[in-house]
């Protein structure tokens, strides 16, 4: 392995394992400027070696995960310390464990190079071509080779049934249930007609028929359909998808990342499906965190991204899920806090039954102390619903699907504030809580909680106004907002104020943030904006610049927060962090977590925020895009249901067109005058702003 370029440039060699192993061993030597780094994907999480100097003479190194954990994959990275050409020589890669030893040959395993055509959603490799058909749960494969089904056994599950019906091979699995849950069935079937192979996947959520029979039927029907019709329909759906929005940037990184992540969104989200958990693309029998929904950030990011890139329908899985979960959330608010409204813990799962119908201990509720008691999580979980309404206003949908959840979330914040002890100013001592994910339980006035309490209660007040309902509750909500205290601050090293994680927390009490809590009031909490008083902006600019994070989602959160305040370093912050993490296939390694997490799609929304923002319904064009880089975009979506197209060329705004999808007031920060302009629009009206 060799690399040169800037100091710190790196590359890697990755293997994903079908079997599980207990030890990784290999031989390595390298040049004086080379370092190496090993990441183990294990059944207990990601384990990283840290950067090590490559030995000048060959040395055998071994890596063993903690007891009871198994290796499911690994990466061997290399890096140049000083930018000079560096070389690592790796050989004898050997994995051992309960299975027979596995010896791997480093390097490129095949002359065939896999390619993915994003426009047509077509993957090719050698004599294979594969499409995941857009209109059904079927892989359409063209190859002369014979396909077969093989069960990968899991010790805690019953054996699958394998068989063949009318020439169609199938595998059928019945997942066991428990005292509260009926379980689930799924089937996979392969039907072949010449070079055409159709692989169907059917679950009990897809059909009322027997899943095996339905899988056989779907596979057989697909294989016997004229392939040209299948391909035409598939590509037509993708053409429609890509027609929704687009951009052209004088920035190859962001251009590529944006399209790759928008493509990725469609691979896991569309109306009618279950929301993606943490491991949408790499499910195993024992995924980290059980592949749950993490309500203090991870589950939020995949469903924030579709809105600004003009695919609001992709938020529907989360909207449906939150409505289905509402009985449990209301029960939890009462059980844990004796409060009205709805509360959510850090972890939840698909197919959660109503606790009133559960017989098991704790009614299938997981607490996970202390992270499960961060109050702001219910606001973050409900925010996507309100975002959907802001970006695609629909009064009937607001009434039936959005307001019921937002109202109950706001009612929890309100009820809790009313119960809190009050300080000498009459403000609530808002807690006890937990700052996600730092410190323990028992702290007060966490910015995450306060920002989301304000955001959610304001959203409920606005929604009730649109629907002309719950006026008494609105008055109660307004009083609750007045009870909320200011964000806690402490002096930094120079004596200037900086927002901290809780009242009493000091500057640098938290060395590295996993979630950048002090930045939340800017983004995604949206309580401090470009239009806030200068003193508020100065406080948070200082806070954002001095907040240190561990990476992952915090990079998106902090970079967008800086973009919202038009801080010039925002764009390079995002690039410098993710540039080393992008893989050959255009997807990202998520440090500390693993590969290809659904939340990485948030990078596309982060890039869009440099081009367009619409906080509080005020549209800003190119609010944080460098003047020395040309850029254009078409039909990015703004609050109020406005589709915005614009171009910057030669440091000047050369085009600005805005289309109203629902009508209503258009508010624009005029790039020429720096003033907010307002005008009423009709549904379908296109407003063209001249140079």
pLDDT digits over 470-526, tens only? 999 999 999 999 999 999 999 999 999 999 999 999 999 998 999 999 999 999 999
256-313 tens-digit pLDDT: 999 999 999 999 999 999 999 888 877 677 777 888 999 999 999 999 999 999 999 9
Calpha distance 286→348 (Å, rounded): 16
Residue 399 has what DSSP assignment? I
Give residue 683's pLDDT band: very low, low, confident or very high (50, 70, 90).
very high
492 vs 127, more confident: 492
3 state DSSP class of 385: helix
Residue 369 predicted with pLDDT over 70: yes
Domain ranges of the chain: 2-104, 116-243, 268-621
Residue 338 predicted with pLDDT over 80: yes
Which pLDDT belongs to residue 219?
A: 98
139-152 tens-digit pLDDT: 999 999 999 998 88
Calpha distance 1→166 (Å, rounded): 50
Give 289-334 as a 3 state SS string. HHHCEECCCCCCHHHHHHHHCCCHHHHHHHHHHHHHHHHHHHHHHH
Which pLDDT belongs to residue 17?
A: 87
Q: What is the pTM of this model?
A: 0.88
Residue 621 bridge partners (DSSP) = 612
What percent helix, strand, coil does the chain show, rounded to 5? 35, 30, 40
Residue 95 bridge partners (DSSP) = 24, 102
Which pLDDT belongs to residue 588?
A: 87
Residue 290 CA to its chain's centroid (Å):
16
Give residue 409's pLDDT band: very low, low, confident or very high (50, 70, 90).
very high
3 state DSSP class of 592: coil
Q: What is the mean pLDDT of residues 156-171?
A: 94
Calpha distance 195→80 (Å, rounded): 46
351 vs 621, more confident: 621
553 vs 125, more confident: 125
Residue 180 has what DSSP assignment? S
298-331 tens-digit pLDDT: 999 999 999 999 999 999 999 999 999 999 999 9
63-112 tens-digit pLDDT: 999 888 899 899 999 999 888 889 999 999 999 998 789 998 777 655 56
Cβ distance 30 to 36 under 8 Å? yes
Class of domain 268-621: mainly alpha
Q: What is the mean pLDDT of residues 428-454?
A: 96
CATH topology (fold) of 2-104 = Jelly Rolls (2.60.120)
Q: What is the mean pLDDT of residues 452-479?
A: 98
Decide if 2-104 and 268-621 have a common fold.
Answer: no
CB within 8 Å of 249: residues ≥ 6 apart: 255, 258, 629, 630, 631, 632
Alpha-helical regions (H) of 105-210:
none
CB within 8 Å of 503: residues ≥ 6 apart: 443, 444, 445, 488
CB within 8 Å of 487: residues ≥ 6 apart: 445, 447, 450, 451, 499, 518, 521
546-580 tens-digit pLDDT: 999 988 788 999 999 999 999 999 999 999 888 88
Residue among 207, 287, 308 at smallest CA distance from 621: 308
Q: What is the mean pLDDT of residues 644-668?
A: 97
């Amino acid at each position: 392995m060799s690399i040169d370029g800037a100091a710190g440039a790196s590359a890697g060699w990755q293997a994903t394992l079908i079997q599980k192993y207990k030890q990784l061993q290999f031989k390595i030597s390298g040049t004086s400027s080379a370092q190496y780094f090993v990441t183990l994907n294990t059944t207990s999480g990601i384990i990283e070696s840290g950067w090590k100097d490559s030995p000048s003479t060959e040395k055998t190194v071994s890596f063993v995960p903690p007891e009871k954990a198994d290796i499911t994959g690994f990466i061997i990275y290399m890096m140049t310390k000083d930018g000079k050409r560096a070389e690592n020589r790796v050989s004898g890669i050997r994995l051992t464990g309960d299975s027979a030893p596995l010896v791997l040959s480093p390097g490129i395993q095949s002359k065939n190079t896999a390619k993915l055509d994003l426009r047509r959603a077509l993957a090719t490799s050698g004599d294979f071509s594969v499409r995941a058909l857009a209109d059904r749960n079927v892989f359409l494969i063209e190859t002369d080779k014979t396909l077969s089904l093989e069960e990968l056994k899991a010790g805690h599950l019953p054996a699958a049934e394998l068989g063949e019906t009318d020439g169609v091979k199938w595998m059928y699995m019945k997942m066991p249930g428990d005292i509260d849950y009926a379980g689930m069935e799924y089937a996979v079937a392969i039907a072949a007609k010449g070079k055409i192979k159709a692989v169907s996947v059917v679950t009990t959520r897809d059909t009322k028929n027997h899943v095996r029979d339905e899988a056989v039927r779907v596979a057989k029907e697909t294989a016997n359909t004229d392939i040209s019709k299948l391909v035409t329909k598939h590509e037509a759906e993708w053409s429609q998808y890509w027609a929704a929005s687009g951009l052209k940037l004088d920035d190859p990184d962001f251009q590529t990342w944006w399209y790759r992540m928008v493509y990725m969104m469609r691979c896991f989200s569309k109306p009618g499906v279950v929301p993606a958990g943490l491991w949408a693309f790499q499910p195993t029998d024992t995924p980290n965190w059980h592949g749950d929904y993490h309500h203090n950030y991870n589950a939020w990011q995949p469903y924030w991204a579709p809105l600004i890139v003009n695919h609001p329908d992709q938020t529907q899985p989360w909207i449906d899920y939150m409505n289905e979960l509402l009985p449990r959330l209301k029960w939890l608010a009462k059980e844990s806090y004796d409060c009205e409204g709805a509360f959510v813990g850090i972890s939840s799962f698909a197919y959660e039954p109503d606790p009133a119908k559960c017989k098991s201990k704790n009614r299938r509720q997981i607490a996970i102390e202390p992270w499960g008691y961060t109050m702001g999580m219910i606001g973050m979980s409900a925010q996507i619903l309100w975002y959907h309404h802001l970006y695609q206003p629909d009064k009937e949908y607001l009434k039936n699907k959005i307001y019921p959840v937002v109202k109950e979330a706001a009612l929890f914040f309100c009820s809790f504030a009313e119960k809190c002890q009050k300080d000498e100013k009459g403000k609530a001592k808002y807690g006890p809580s937990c700052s996600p994910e730092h410190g323990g339980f028992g702290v007060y006035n966490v910015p995450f909680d306060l920002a989301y309490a304000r955001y959610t209660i304001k959203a409920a007040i606005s929604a009730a106004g649109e629907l002309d309902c719950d006026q008494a509750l609105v008055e109660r909500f307004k009083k609750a907002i007045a009870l909320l205290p200011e964000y806690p601050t402490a002096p930094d090293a120079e004596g200037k104020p900086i927002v901290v994680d809780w009242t009493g927390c000091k500057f640098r009490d938290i060395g590295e943030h996993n979630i950048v809590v002090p930045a939340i009031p800017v983004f995604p909490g949206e309580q401090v904006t470009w239009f806030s008083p200068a003193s508020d902006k100065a406080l948070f600019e200082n806070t954002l610049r001095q907040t240190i994070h561990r990476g992952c989602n915090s990079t998106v959160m902090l970079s967008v927060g800086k973009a919202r305040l038009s801080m010039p370093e925002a764009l390079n912050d995002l690039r410098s962090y993710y540039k080393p993490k992008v893989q050959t296939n255009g997807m990202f390694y998520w440090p500390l977590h693993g590969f290809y997490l659904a939340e990485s799609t948030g990078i596309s929304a982060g890039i869009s925020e440099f081009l367009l923002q619409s906080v509080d319904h005020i549209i800003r064009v190119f609010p944080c895009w460098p003047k020395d880089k040309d850029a254009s975009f078409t039909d990015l979506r703004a609050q109020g249901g406005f589709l915005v197209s614009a171009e910057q060329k030669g440091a000047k705004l050369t085009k600005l067109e805005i289309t109203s999808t629902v009508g209503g007031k258009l508010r624009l920060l005029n790039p020429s005058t720096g003033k907010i302009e307002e005008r009423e629009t009709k549904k379908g009206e296109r407003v063209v702003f001249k140079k």
